[in-house]
């Protein structure tokens, strides 16, 4: 057998996003903002997308000159061509698309109105479809690009009274697998992260109001703590970096072991 002479990348090369332009929906707050920060620290430029201009401006300013922003409601698919033109004219071709924007709805199916269900699907599923379809042509032309989805624990198991949210996030699994098969021969990898119970302002307030639920969550998390947005952000960097160049069509749980806990 011939000796193995493959030249390894250095760690700096393997986890570098230098030269990439990442568009991150829901990028001004929470997990999206943490992903943006980790991407910038890894050498990428980022475009933060969201509905609230003031939050986008503040987040981009905090991230520095490598960050820009564009106002867009992901549920407004009619506006997608204008967004693409705006981003391309101001920043260039997007090479990483992070479909992260979303909203939560804590209701059972009996309580969920059809308009609420449609809004959930429009935001998560139809919005991600429209953005992916619109931003992949330059990636296909250059035969390189990354698509990343933010899935959820509800993509894998049932949680009470989140029917519409769980339906939308579960759809991401099919999107990731199908897109990975279709797009990877064209040079585009498609993956997802599935955050577990992550400590944010929203979850902190929710658990303060329900200490018993907090204990239940921690009891089924083998690591015995909540995750941080930074935990999720570095997983996103990995999946979009050269280190993961043979990782395609996966959904990576970032959950402290919740999915394998009993």
- Name every residue whose Cβ is closer than 8 Å to that of residue 219 and which is 6 or more positions away in sequence: none
| Count of other CB atoms within 10 angstroms of residue 258 | 20
What are the two backbone dihedrals, phi and then psi, of residue 226, each rounded to the nearest 5 degrees? -80, 155
Q: Which of 232, 41, 262 is nearest to 152 (CA)?
A: 232
Among this protein's residues, is 165 annotated catalytic? Answer: yes
Paired sense of beta strands 21-25 and 188-195, if any: unpaired
Beta strands in the chain (DSSP E): 21-25, 45-50, 67-71, 96-99, 145-150, 188-195, 251-254
CA–CA gap between residue 208 and residue 121 (Å, rounded): 29
Q: Is 38 exposed, middle or buried (0-12, 13-18, 19+ CB in 10 A)?
A: buried
CA–CA gap between residue 9 and residue 221 (Å, rounded): 34
- Residue among 91, 129, 165, 238 flagged as catalytic: 165
Q: Is 216 exposed, middle or buried (0-12, 13-18, 19+ CB in 10 A)?
A: exposed
List 99's β-bridge partners, or say none. Answer: 149
What are the two backbone dihedrals, phi and then psi, of residue 237, each rounded to the nearest 5 degrees? -60, -45
Paired sense of beta strands 21-25 and 96-99, if any: parallel
Cite the active site residues: 165
């Amino acid at each position: 057998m011939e000796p193995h002479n493959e030249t390894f990348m250095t760690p700096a090369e393997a986890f570098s996003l230098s030269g990439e332009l990442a568009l991150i929906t829901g990028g001004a707050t929470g997990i999206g903002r943490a992903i943006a920060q980790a991407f910038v620290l890894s050498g990428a430029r980022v475009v933060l997308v969201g509905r609230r201009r003031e939050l986008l401006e503040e987040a981009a300013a905090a991230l520095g000159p490598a960050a820009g922003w564009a106002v867009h409601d992901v549920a407004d698919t009619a506006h997608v061509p204008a967004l693409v033109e705006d981003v391309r004219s101001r920043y260039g071709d997007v090479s990483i698309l992070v479909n992260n924007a979303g909203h939560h709805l804590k209701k059972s199916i009996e309580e969920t109105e059809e308009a609420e269900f449609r809004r959930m699907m429009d935001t998560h599923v139809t919005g991600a479809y429209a953005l992916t379809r619109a931003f992949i042509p330059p990636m296909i032309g250059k035969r390189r690009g990354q698509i990343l989805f933010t899935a959820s624990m509800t993509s894998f198991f049932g949680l009470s009274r989140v029917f519409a949210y769980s339906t939308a996030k579960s759809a991401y699994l099919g999107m990731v697998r199908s897109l990975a098969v279709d797009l990877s021969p064209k040079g585009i990898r498609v993956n997802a992260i599935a955050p577990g119970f992550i400590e944010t302002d929203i979850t902190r307030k929710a658990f303060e109001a329900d200490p018993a639920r907090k204990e239940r969550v921690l009891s089924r998390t083998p690591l015995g703590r909540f995750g941080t947005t930074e935990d999720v952000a570095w997983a996103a960097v990995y999946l979009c970096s050269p280190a993961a160049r043979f990782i395609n069509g996966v959904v990576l749980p970032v959950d402290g072991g919740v999915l394998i806990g009993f």
